Amino acid sequence: MSTKDAALTHKPLSNHASLINTRMLRAKIKEADLYASQCLFDEAREVYNSLITYLTRELESGDLQEQKTFKAIQVILRILRTRVEEVDKKAEEFYRQKDIEVGWLAEASELSGQEVFDQGSTLKEAGLFDEAIEAFKQSYELGHRQTESLLAISECHLAKGFFNKALEILESLPSIKGLSAHEQAKIYERIGAVHEEAGDIRKALNAYQQALALNPKLKQSKAKIQKLQKKLKRLRPRISIVTRHPVISFAMCMLIALFFMVYLPRVKTVNNVDYFTLEHDPEIQFYNQFKEVFGNDEFFVIAFQKDNLFTKKNLAELSRLTEELEGVEDVKDITSLANVDDIVGGEDFFEVRPFLEEIPSAPEALRKLKEQATSNPLFTPGLISKDGRTTAIVVEALEKPDNPDYRKNLIEKTKSLLAHYKPTLGPFHLAGWTITNVTLSQYMKRDVATFIPIAYLFITLSIWLFFRNLWLTLLAIANITLCVGSTMGLFGLTGITLNNVTSVVPPLVMALALCDVVHIFSHMDREVLAKFGDKRKALAHVLDKVLVPSFLTSLTTAIGFLSLAVSEIPPIRQFAWIASAGMVFEFLYSFFFLPPLILLFDPNKVYQNYESRKGVLTLLRGIKRIVNKHKGLVLLLSALVVAASSFYITRLRVETNLIDFFSKKTPLRISMDFVEARLGGVDTLDVSLKAEKEDTFKEPRALKVVEQIQNYIKGLPQVDAAISLVDFLKDMNQSFHAEDPAYYRLPESKNMVSQYLLLYDSEDIEDVINSSYDHARIAVRISEHSSAGQERLIRQIEQFVDKLHHQGLSIHVTGRAREDVTVIDALVKGQVYSLALAAVTIIFIMIIVLRSLSLGLTSIVPNIFPIVLNFGIMGAFSIPLDTGTAIISAVALGIVVDDTIHFLSEYKLGREEGFSVAESVNHTILVKGRAILSSSAILCIGFGVLVVSNFSPTVHFGLLTSIIMITACI
């Protein structure tokens, strides 16, 4: 084979450095060049000096027998020392762009063309491409092996990543006179190889076809043509279709966005929180059946205080207010001292009549009326405080399942009516589930109205701070606007409402949509533009660089969200589907809508130079130093943090307290505290007692069971009142015996009970017993709002009932408190299932993508660490696992793995290129560090927006998730 053929087949032309570790030498010089190009001078100097030490040791060892090898090392040493001098001068431009005078070139005039060519080959093999190019130019000018010299120059440009320069030289070679058809074919083969390496499959295919036309015997070209034709089919359509057809891509995205945004006017927020329940849970079904018998137990109280409440004027005003409230639409029932029935008796008789049948004028009569009210256990503490200064009007809403606004409408009408009575009876305090329900929804609406503009403001500022480029900032805002608009439109399309769980979706999607944008922008530097010379090719290269990692990050984040779909609670399932759909939108628009917009701009306005990333590179240099110099300390600190977090996890409380969602300064908390301090709690718990036979609860034996349970419940902490049929029968019995307190007890026979019930003609008793007297109720009012406390209360009652002899009676604890406890229990179980499902799925994907079991398993370790820290912080600062914080772990795991994917993808490429573990880590920190830092900071800001929420769980969600983002980045 001729020397020309040897060059054209791209085989090494020299093995002068074969006795030294050439692969290590090239890798180290490449690493040092990267440091120098990014102005990391200390690192570059350190690597260069280590190479000088290594080569000097080789020279001094005396093992180099071949004179050419000895001279080659001397040349390399001289060049390396020159580079160290240049680093010490802190060059303002990238080193590889400088025209460095190399000492050995001064000797070129004394060397022959062959010797200069050999020197260039040695330098090329050592990775000193700038110096090799100068040598090959000298060889060309000396007229020695000109074709091979030009080929070698193109190879050096190619090694530096300058594809256009390499192709410019290669494409000029076939026109050189005197080349045979075979030589021209080999040149076209090389052109095809360069196009293939640059990612331009079509041009590579065309070059190989030209080579085959010149020499049909070229087996390599035949094989390449077949391979590329298959690859072309497999890659259609690839991401470069966006840069080839930007108008089509842009139009497609706009049509999709417009389709979903048409539904924006249909987006609804709910005016209640009834959605936070379980649809098919046995406990909830039992509670619903219970309400069919005794009616809905939802109510709210209107409380007010007067030092002289029992005056004719005040009682008359109370009567008028009660009467007007009864006429309000959406009111089912009103109960107050003005219309409540009282049992009044004498010797062997009693009668039921309104407590305020007549309002007396005499002070003594009013005093007796006050004593009568405050001493009646059916009135206190629910309707009148024990000191007689505070009274309540109990309002039961008329439930309208088809009208979600019925509570809101009722409260607005009630407040409007109360405004007229404020001068005489006010101020009024409203408390109860109806009030809490509507207030929660109102605060949630304020959150939605606040989150989006604040998120826009902070995200815009963060983009500007990271890139200092107005055009990139505007591009990012345009992209996230389409993402959020499409996601919000999906709410309207599917009928899913904005609630206190799904309301975090808009700022969440905004932050996540920006992460892919940041990675795209971070790779848009002017070096890429210089390499390709064409803005479409340069952008296609950038997109190809981040496409796979970005797709994986969107996929894993969507998996994190979708893992919550296993929850039995509707709003959490809705959050899972909507948030995961948001990930589809953000990936779609980031790679098909944003690139066409980028192409509209002058590349010099949107591609970044070194100055724009100088500060971040300085920070990364510091991080790299810490990692390299203090590996043991970093691991030790991490282990200590994990140990401390594990300890505090044992203190984590699982509970939800709706009242603690609100600040103590809010009107709801003020009114709640006022009512509970004077009239008892407004939360409810019920005990259902069902018999097998009718009239069972006319029998003293069954009534004794009711009495025992009721007495036990009254003695429990946080229980303010417990009412049952027993209270009515005791009152009847006392009244029947001339109000003798000694007869405040249950009647002794079934016959007497039957007579009392026959005489009692008030509807009040229907709240505690059904018409067939085989289903009784103990209605309990509690001031325990914590789900953990409510669960403890329920467990105590159930344990007491289990020990009680109650043959023939089915006793079950139910009510709104039981419903809350059941939902929280399902929430915690769903959290465990979701986290496990997300972790297993993400590990599986990482193993498949990285094609490494060890890397796949390793990838989950740094991502579990922030989750452990999160639970540790919650335990240390007494932040409960509630409806707001329960979804953090699964959501965070899907997000924090994003940085790991980008990091490990680049690390794997470094290892495949021959870097050592340490070198690959250092290289990855420098290449990916900026984007990872920026995206983590943006996520932190995006979640940090949630701290302005009116709800403490949402504040905790935003704060804790922000901490997780910071920890994951570290």
**pLDDT score of 271:** 63
How sure is the predictor about 92, in pLDDT bands with cuts at 50, 70 and 90?
A: very low
**pLDDT score of 645:** 85
Compute the radius of gyration of the chain from its Cα atoms: 40
Question: CA 544 → CA 452, 595, 599, 951, distances in Å?
Answer: 32, 12, 16, 43
Residue type, 194: V
Q: How far apart are the first and last CA of the chain?
A: 56
Q: Does residue 17 or residue 640 have the better pLDDT?
A: 640
**Average pLDDT score over residue span 70-94:** 66
**pLDDT tens string 411-424:** 999 999 999 999 99
In the block, tokens 């379980």 appear at 278
Q: Does residue 519 or residue 791 have the better pLDDT?
A: 791
Architecture of the domain defined by 3-244: Alpha Horseshoe (1.25)
- Candidates 828, 846, 726; CA nearest to 778 is 726
**pLDDT score of 238:** 53
Which CATH number is 683-782+784-814's, of 3.40.50.300, 3.30.70.1430, 1.20.1070.10, 3.40.50.720?
3.30.70.1430
* Tokens, residue 626: 């810490």
Q: Give the integer Cα–Cα distance in Å for 198 and 201.
A: 8
**pLDDT score of 957:** 78
Domain ranges of the chain: 3-244, 468-650+822-969, 683-782+784-814
Is-cis flag, bond preceding 570, omega within 30?
Answer: no
The secondary element (H helix, E strand) that includes residue 332 is strand 331-335
**pLDDT score of 99:** 41
**pLDDT score of 144:** 66
Tell me: pLDDT of 620 over 70.
no
Give the other-Cβ count within 10 Å of 427's Cβ.
11
How sure is the predictor about 370, in pLDDT bands with cuts at 50, 70 and 90?
A: very high
Total residues belonging to the chain: 970
Q: Which of 202-211, 318-327, 341-350, 433-442 has the highest mean pLDDT?
A: 318-327
Q: What 3-state DSSP class applies to 888? A: helix
* Tokens, residue 764: 């009040």
**pLDDT tens string 461-493:** 888 877 788 888 899 999 989 999 999 999 999
| Range with lowest mean pLDDT among 109-123, 429-443, 741-755 | 109-123
**Average pLDDT score over residue span 230-249:** 70
Tell me: pLDDT of 726 over 70.
yes
Tell me: pLDDT of 834 over 70.
yes
* Tokens, residue 238: 């690839």
**pLDDT score of 4:** 38
Give the other-Cβ count within 10 Å of 3's Cβ.
12
Backbone angles phi, psi at 879, to 5 degrees: -90, 120
Tell me: pLDDT of 10 over 80.
no
Residue 64 is classified by DSSP as -
The secondary element (H helix, E strand) that includes residue 303 is strand 300-305
The secondary element (H helix, E strand) that includes residue 238 is none
Q: Does residue 75 or residue 263 have the better pLDDT?
A: 263
Q: Give the integer Cα–Cα distance in Å for 642 and 413.
A: 55
CATH topology of domain 468-650+822-969: Multidrug efflux transporter AcrB transmembrane fold (1.20.1640)
How sure is the predictor about 237, in pLDDT bands with cuts at 50, 70 and 90?
A: very low
**pLDDT tens string 41-80:** 566 767 777 777 777 766 655 554 454 556 677 677 777 7
**pLDDT score of 3:** 37
Tell me: pLDDT of 696 over 60.
yes
Tell me: pLDDT of 625 over 70.
no
**pLDDT tens string 920-943:** 676 676 666 667 777 777 778 777
| Range with lowest mean pLDDT among 8-12, 564-568, 786-790 | 8-12
pTM score, whole prediction: 0.66
Residue type, 13: L
| Range with lowest mean pLDDT among 106-120, 137-151, 169-183, 588-602 | 106-120
What's the chain's average pLDDT?
Answer: 80
* Tokens, residue 904: 């490990």
Per DSSP, which regions of 388-463 are E strands?
Answer: 390-397, 429-432
Tell me: pLDDT of 457 over 60.
yes
**Average pLDDT score over residue span 752-780:** 89
**pLDDT score of 930:** 67
